[in-house]
Amino acid sequence: MAYAAVNHPRVSVLSTSSQSSLDHPSPTPSSTRFSLSSAPSINTLNSANRPTGVRPNIYERNLNKTRFAEVSLSSFAFLFSELVQYTQKRVNGINDLERRLNTLGYRVGTRVLELLFWRTESTSKAPKREIKLVPALMVIHTQVWKAIFSKPADAIEKSVENADEYMIIDNDPPIERYISVPRDMSQLSCSSFTAGIVEAVLDGLGFPARVTAHNTPTAQYPSRITILIKLEKSVLEREELLKT
């Protein structure tokens, strides 16, 4: 409740601005929300582009505006670093750490899916949801990756040995760019976070799966990762039914 007491000056600007009433259909921009908007804006690029220097509360901003909505990689790297350190203090062993990162990613993934569909399908004339596995994986490979990392993933592969396994490959995952895993933890892949996001998106689309991340470095791409998707049996059975 500490933030509720901070009565920030931006709300009044927001409610009198004619443009904001168009942007924000909510009737009253409430000042009693748990808002952090009185904190200085992290995105310097954006504020530099606005001569007034006034930005609406993050909850009041238009969800569909994606221009200049990127977060600085540095800020994210610091946040993610703290996140890994926080998690590491509370676990025993690498598997546990990966599982926790996966859980955190899952929570991001559910929101990513919602936001992504809000942005892409709400303006589309024929909104649709993927019900087949391969197109759904393509959505993750391209749209989800672009929404999160501003670039598509590098490949999708199907496992030769197991019919229920698919892989998404990223040659240079941005979230691991500044991370050097110590030698005694070499199996650890911080992209378990990304795996969690993928798991949530697949779950949300109706393809329950177990998703894990693995380091698969090559000479050319030392930080290459593989996101391994192990689908539940029900998904494959449904795929069979959809074929006919």
Partner 1 sequence: MPIFGLWVINKAGGLVYQRNFADGLAQLTSNEYLVLAGTLHGIHAITSRLSPIGSSSGAQVIEGETFKLTILLTATGTKFVLLASVTETSAELILQKVYEIYADFVMKNPFHTPEMPVRSEGFDQRITTLMGSFQS
- Residue numbers of the site for partner 1 (CB under 8 A)? 74, 77-78, 80-85, 88, 178-182, 185, 190
In the complex, least distance from residue 102 CB atom to partner 1, rounded to whole angstroms: 16
Q: Which is nearer to partner 1, 118 or 178 (CB)?
A: 178
Closest CA to 134 of 244, 235, 241: 235
Characterise 126 by phi-psi region: left (phi > 0), alpha (psi -120 to 50), beta (else).
Answer: beta
70 vs 82, beta carbon nearer partner 1: 82
Task: Fill in the amino acid letter for 49.
Answer: N
Q: In this complex, which beta carbon is closest to partner 1, that of residue 136 or of residue 188?
A: 188
Of the pair 97, 211, the CB lying nearest partner 1 is at 97
Q: How far is it, in rounded angstroms, from Cα 97 to Cα 31?
A: 38
Q: CA triplet 180, 103, 97: central angle to 5 degrees?
A: 40
Q: Give the Cα-Cα-Cα angle 17, 23, 29 (nearest 5 degrees).
A: 65
Q: How far is the CB of 4 from partner 1 (least distance, A)?
A: 33
Mention every residue, 6+ apart, whose C-beta is less than 8 A from residue 234. 208
**CB of 190 vs partner 1, minimal distance in Å:** 8
> Closest distance between partner 1 and the C-beta of residue 112, in Å?
22
